[in-house]
Amino acid sequence: MESKEQTFMRIFLDTADIDEIREAARWGILSGVTTNPTLMMKSGGKSHEAVIREIAEIVDGPISAETISLDTEGMLVEARRFAKWHPSVVVKVPSTPNGWAAVKQLKQEGIRTNVTLCFSANQALFAALAGAYIISPFVGRLDDISEDGMQVVRDTVEVYRKHNLPTLVLAASIRHPLHIIDAAKAGADIATVPFKVLELAAKHPLTDKGIDSFLKDWQKFTEETGGRQA
């Protein structure tokens, strides 16, 4: 059986906002992007294809484009169309029997899939058995209904490793910075993060305080030495 392509967790951005993607890519930490119909609605009136192609010019990694069909044949039609847009496209389908059926057929055609809206390890197992490239457990939405969303990530990672299943585990519905580190500790292969959460995770008040202190000390030093560097 094929093995996973990585041994470290990657960060994806959960957005269709090109400016956010450019900024996160500038940081040097971005490995992919996930989009969905809700995010596409905020993309400024561009076509689905235009947005995906623009993202592909910025990010050298998987870009998820989501189907809206509920039947298998409809998903297949959309998936084949999306896959022609760019080699980086990964097609998102829902975690349903129709979705898993589409995954199996698409795998035979060499089209990678991201099975989304996963809320249980059972769904994650079925997606992997069908041949999913990525599974997306939704952490925050489970937390919202007083379930432990991260436990689904842990259970999925455990099942996949025990049975040597190559599907990548992507922690989705990330709501705050702690979710990112929890996903890493749980063994997730990927965390897909909204830009605002990524910004929060990048900052620490002591870092800002330290920079401010160093700059003030340097200014004082240069005033005392007349700006001499050596």
Band of residue 128 on the pLDDT scale cut at 50, 70, 90:
very high
The answer on pLDDT for 230 being more than 60 is: no
Burial 104-116 (b: 16+ CB within 10 A, else e): ebbeeeebbbbbb
CA 129 to chain centre: 21
- 9-54 per-position pLDDT tens digit: 999 999 999 999 999 999 999 999 999 999 998 877 789 999 999 9
Q: What pLDDT does residue 44 have?
A: 77
- 54-64 per-position pLDDT tens digit: 999 999 999 99
Per the prediction, the chain carries an average pLDDT of 94
Domains of the chain: which residue ranges? 10-203
**Shortest CA distance to 2 belongs to which of 160, 184, 188, 190?**
160
Q: What pLDDT does residue 19 have?
A: 96
Q: What is the mean pLDDT of residues 81-105?
A: 98
Q: What pLDDT does residue 43 have?
A: 78
Q: What pLDDT does residue 2 have?
A: 45
pTM for the full predicted model: 0.92
CATH class of the region 10-203:
alpha beta
CA distance 10 to 189: 6
The answer on pLDDT for 1 being more than 50 is: no
Q: What pLDDT does residue 113 have?
A: 98
Enter the tokens of residue 13.
Answer: 């951005």
The answer on pLDDT for 166 being more than 80 is: yes
Q: What pLDDT does residue 3 have?
A: 45
Element (H, E) at 93: strand 89-94
Q: What pLDDT does residue 48 have?
A: 95
Q: How far is CA 139 from CA 3, 32, 94, 147, 164, in A?
A: 25, 19, 16, 9, 23
Q: What is the mean pLDDT of residues 102-122?
A: 98
Band of residue 81 on the pLDDT scale cut at 50, 70, 90:
very high
Residues annotated catalytic, as ranges: 92
